[in-house]
Amino acid sequence: MLDWLTGELPDDALVGFDLSTSLAFADRGAFFPGLEESPASARELWALVDRVCEEEAHLSVASFVDHAEFSRHFRRQGGREGDLFGGGRGRFRATEHAQAAQGCKPYSNFNLVGAAQVGKSSLTGMRLLHRLPPRLPVWPIDPLPTSGPAVVEIYTTLAALEAGRSASRSKMRSHEELNCALDALGSAAVPGTGSIEDHASDALLTAAWLRRAAFRPHLWQPAGLTGSIARTEGWTFGAP
């Protein structure tokens, strides 16, 4: 994926990553409160994760989540909850609170347990984002360019909501369900019948949604997005 992004990506591409581009910061004024090494921005966080895990192949992040200090902030497999995790569902970014207001059920990126969690893929994604060239900015951590490709964080449920599905029924596991949703977005049907993996249907529907949503100015100016949040926490494209 990194090779494709840095080598073959079309100039007019809008790339959506179904992961979180950062961790919660605004709620406590730091990614890792009390830690002197805690980064001050999302890009510094990416660099930190990559540096701690530099010996790991395939952009893996085991060294980070098992680190003596950083692991204190995460909930990990085997009932291992760090003493600084905070309890409950964990810490949330401003954009995740905005998602919840739409009826979605986001997970804390400090939670690394369960099938619905995105913490692990988000940390791995940060290593990838750290390697992207300047010609491929990551909105809103980087300003949106007037031309050329860009990367955004996506939440596939937002695309499903626009296609007329509810948050609880966002997953589509048949071609018939997917094509009905695609039709609601004015997109062509996908050939085939019967079952389809929900990962594939998520990707197809969200790509169709991005083609439309990218041209809506208000989606690039969400109400809760401040300069500080953009620099530290980032934002999910399409969240209000």
Q: Is residue 158 part of a domain?
A: yes
Handedness of CA 215, 152, 100, 114 (dihedral sign): positive
Tokens at 45, concatenated: 């966080």
Q: Is residue 237 part of a domain?
A: no
- Tokens 């791995």 found at: 124
pLDDT at 41 over 90: yes
Among residues 141, 159, 161, the alpha carbon closest in space to that of 151 is found at 141
pLDDT at 10 over 90: no
pLDDT at 48 over 90: yes
pLDDT at 5 over 80: yes
The total number of structural domains in the chain stands at 1
Q: Is residue 238 part of a domain?
A: no
209 half-sphere exposure, CB direction, 13 A CA radius: 25
152 bridge partner residues: 16
Tell me the pLDDT band of 167, cut-offs 50, 70 and 90. confident
pLDDT given at position 116 = 82
Three-state secondary structure of 76-141? ECCCEECCCCCCCCCCCCHHHHHHHHCCCCCCCCCECCCCCCCHHHHHHHHHHHHCCCCCCCECCC
Among residues 68, 40, 29, 30, the alpha carbon closest in space to that of 52 is found at 68
- Note the helical H segments in 131-174: 156-162
**Model confidence pLDDT, tens digit, residues 97-127:** 999 998 889 999 999 998 888 999 999 999 9
Q: Is residue 137 part of a domain?
A: yes
pLDDT given at position 156 = 94
d(CA 117, CA 111) in angstroms, rounded, equals 7
Tell me the pLDDT band of 194, cut-offs 50, 70 and 90. very high
pLDDT given at position 60 = 96
For residue 124, the enclosing domain spans 2-232
DSSP codes, 183-238: HHTT-PPPS--SB--HHHHHHHHHHHHHHHHTT-GGGGS-TT--HHHHHHT--BTT
Q: Angle between the 198-213 and 175-184 helix axes, to the nearest 10 degrees?
A: 10
Q: Is residue 144 part of a domain?
A: yes
pLDDT at 238 over 80: yes
Tokens at 5, concatenated: 């992004």
pLDDT given at position 86 = 87
pLDDT at 30 over 80: yes
Q: Over range 128-156, report the average pLDDT.
A: 95
75 bridge partner residues: 81, 111
d(CA 1, CA 129) in angstroms, rounded, equals 11
Tell me the pLDDT band of 11, cut-offs 50, 70 and 90. confident
**Model confidence pLDDT, tens digit, residues 73-99:** 999 988 899 999 988 999 999 999 999
pLDDT given at position 112 = 96
Q: Over range 135-153, report the average pLDDT.
A: 95
pLDDT at 8 over 80: no
5-9, 44-48, 190-194: which range is least confident on average?
5-9
pLDDT given at position 209 = 96
Do residues 22 and 232 lie in contact, with contact meaning Cβ atoms separated by under 8 Å? yes
Q: Over range 123-132, report the average pLDDT.
A: 97
d(CA 111, CA 120) in angstroms, rounded, equals 9
Q: Which of helix, strand or coil describes residue 66?
A: coil
Quick one: 235 exposed, middle or buried, by C-beta within 10 A (0-12, 13-18, 19+)?
buried
pLDDT at 71 over 90: yes
Q: Is residue 240 part of a domain?
A: no
**What whole-number percentage of the chain has pLDDT above 70?**
100
